[in-house]
Structure 1
Amino acid sequence: MGLGERLAERMKSADLSQSELARRVNVTPQTIGKLIRGEARGSIHLHRIARELRTSPEYLTGDIDDPTAGAPPILPERDDIIEVPMLDLAYGMGGTFLEDDDPEVRHEPFSTSFIRRYTKAGPEHIVFAEGIGDSMAPTIGTNDLVLIDQSDNHLRMADQIWAFSFGGVGMIKRLRPRPDGSVAILSDNPSVPEDRAVDDELHLIGRVVARVAKL
C-alpha cells in the first residue's frame, strides 16, 4: 500500500474523518485529501498525522509494515522533560516546498523549564525546525533552530515571526496585516523585497517563539 492507502486505512481504524483529522493536525482538509489521493508525497505535518492515527510516519510512508512499530507513545507531560519533534526539513527563509517533501522526524528531550520560557503550548503542538537562507538575517540565519508553537495559528499582532505556507511554499517571515485585508510578508534582510498575500494564499503553521543559534 502507498501513503494514501495507508493513511485512509488508519483514518478508518481511528474512526476519523478527513475534516476531523485536518482540524486536529491544523491543516486544511485539502491537504489531507492530496495525501490520500497521492497528489503529495509527504507533508511537514506527517509526524502529527501519524500521532493522531496512533502509528508512525515510517508506516505511513511504507518503510515498515507494522502500524504499531515505532509509533511515538502519547506520554503524559512530565515535570522535567518534554519530547519535541526535530524536523530534518528546513523551512526556507526564502521558501521551501512543503507538500512534496517527506521530512524525517526524530524526537529529542528538552527540559520543561527551557521550553516554558518561550511557550505554554503542549508537547503535541511544538516543533523545532532548521532555517536555511539569509532573508531573515540577522535575526535568523542558516542552521539556526527555531521553535514553532503550532497552537498559535491566528494572526493577531503585526510584525511577529511566523512559519507559514504561501502558495504551497513554506516560509519563516514577519507578517503584517494590511487595512485592505492582505498580509505583507516581510524579511529582516533589507535586500529582500516585501511580498503580499491575499485571500486564502497564506496558511499559518505556527508562530516562531524562539531561536537557538551557535556563537
Structure 2
Amino acid sequence: MLEMDALDPAAVAMKLPLTATRLRDRMLETGTTQEDLADAVGATQGAISQILTGMTRRSRLLPAIATFLAVNLDWLVGTSDQMIEMFDADGEDISEDDLALIRAGRSDKRLLKPEQLEAKPTALVTSHVPISESQDEDDELVDVMEIDLAFGMGGGGYLELPVKKKPRRFTRGWLRLFTQAPPSQIFIAQGIGDSMAPTIQNADIVIIDTSDTRLTMGDQIWAAAYGQTGVIKRLLPMPNGGVKIKSDNPLVESEMAYDGELHVIGKVVAVVRKMSGL
C-alpha cells in the first residue's frame, strides 16, 4: 500500500499547489512511494516530501520526476491541463522531444494512447489566434526567478540548497527568442570566473532552461551541480558512461564525472552582457 508521510490532517487541510496535487495523484495512480521516487531521481525522501507538501514549488527534480512517472512535464507543473502518458505504441518510454516531434507529425513513433492528443493544449493552437492577441501575449510581463548564487565558471561557487531566488520581469516575447519553456522553468544566474571565456565573461548573466536536462546533444553549455559547486560548462557524454566537463578557456583542463557525481540543472540558452563603456 502506498504511504505518503505528507498526508497528515494539516497537510490535507492546506490548499496545495497544483504541482503537488498532480504529483500526489500520479504517484497514487502508479503505486509509486516517496522512497521509489527518491531513488529513481537521485534525491532524498525529504526533497520529494517538500514538493508533495508545497514547500518547494519549482524543484529542479521535476523533469526527472515527470520522466520516471511517464507523464508530460507541462501537465505536472501546471502549464497544461492535458495529461499525456509518455509511452509509444510499443510501450517504450518517450521523451519530451519525442512528444514534440509526434505533435508536429515529424516522428515515426506513435503514442500508445493517440487519443490523448485529440484535444490539443491551448498554448499550441496558434494558427487561429488574431495577430493583435498574439502580439498582446508577447508583450505580457512574466516573472523569471533569479538564482541567488554564483554558478562557478572558475573554481565554482558553493551550492547551497534550498536556493534563494528573487523575481525579475521580462516580456514573454523576449524570452521566446531563446526558449519555448514556460517562465516557471526558466532561471537567470550570474557566473563568476574566466574558465568559460571568451564565450561567457565574468559577471555575465546567463539564462537557463531547466526543462532541458538530457545530454542528447554533445558540447552544449549547461548549468550543473558538480560535487558541492555550481558550474557552467560544456558537457560531453562519453561512451564509457562518464561526462566530460569542458571549459572554453584553453588554460583550464577538462574533468570527468561518473556515477551521479554531476546533476544537470538546465541548458544555458542565452548570455546577457553589459557592453563596456556604456
Alignment TM-score, normalising by the size of structure 2: 0.53
Structure whose CA Rg is larger: 2
Supply the distance in 1 between the matched residues of 2:178 and 2:234 (Cα, whole angstroms).
18
* 1:109 to partner: Cα distance: 1.2
Which residue of the partner structure matches residue 198 of structure 1?
Answer: 258
Higher strand fraction (1 or 2): 1
Which residue of the partner structure matches residue 87 of structure 1?
Answer: 147
Gaps of 5+ in 2: 1-7, 25-32, 60-77, 81-122, 124-135
CA-based RMSD of the aligned residues comes to: 3.6
Higher relative contact order (CA 8 A, sep 6+): 1
Which residue of the partner structure matches residue 51 of structure 1?
Answer: 57
CA deviation profile, 1:134-161 (whole Å, cap 9, x unmatched): 1111111121100000000100011100
CA deviation profile, 1:138-191 (whole Å, cap 9, x unmatched): 111121100000000100011100001112321100011112111100000111
8 Å CA contact 1:19–1:29 kept in 2: the answer is no
Which residue of the partner structure matches residue 204 of structure 2?
Answer: 144
In structure 2, the CA distance between the partners of 1:125 and 1:34, relative to structure 1 (3 Å rule), is: closer
Matched, 1:33 2:46: yes
Supply the distance in 2 between the matched residues of 1:148 and 1:208 (Cα, whole angstroms).
5
| Amino acid corresponding to residue 212 of structure 1 in structure 2 | V
For residue 177 of structure 1, the aligned residue among 220, 234, 237 is 237
For residue 217 of structure 2, the aligned residue among 157, 162, 172 is 157
Higher helix fraction (1 or 2): 2
Supply the distance in 1 between the matched residues of 2:179 and 2:224 (Cα, whole angstroms).
18
Supply the distance in 2 between the matched residues of 1:158 and 1:183 (Cα, whole angstroms).
10
8 Å CA contact 2:58–2:184 kept in 1: the answer is no
User: In terms of mean alpha carbon deviation, does 103-112 or 172-181 score higher?
Assistant: 103-112
Q: Secondary structure in 2 aligned to 1:114?
A: helix
Gaps of 5+ in 1: 1-7, 37-44, 54-73
* 1:19 to partner: Cα distance: 4.4
Supply the distance in 1 between the matched residues of 2:205 and 2:9 (Cα, whole angstroms).
35
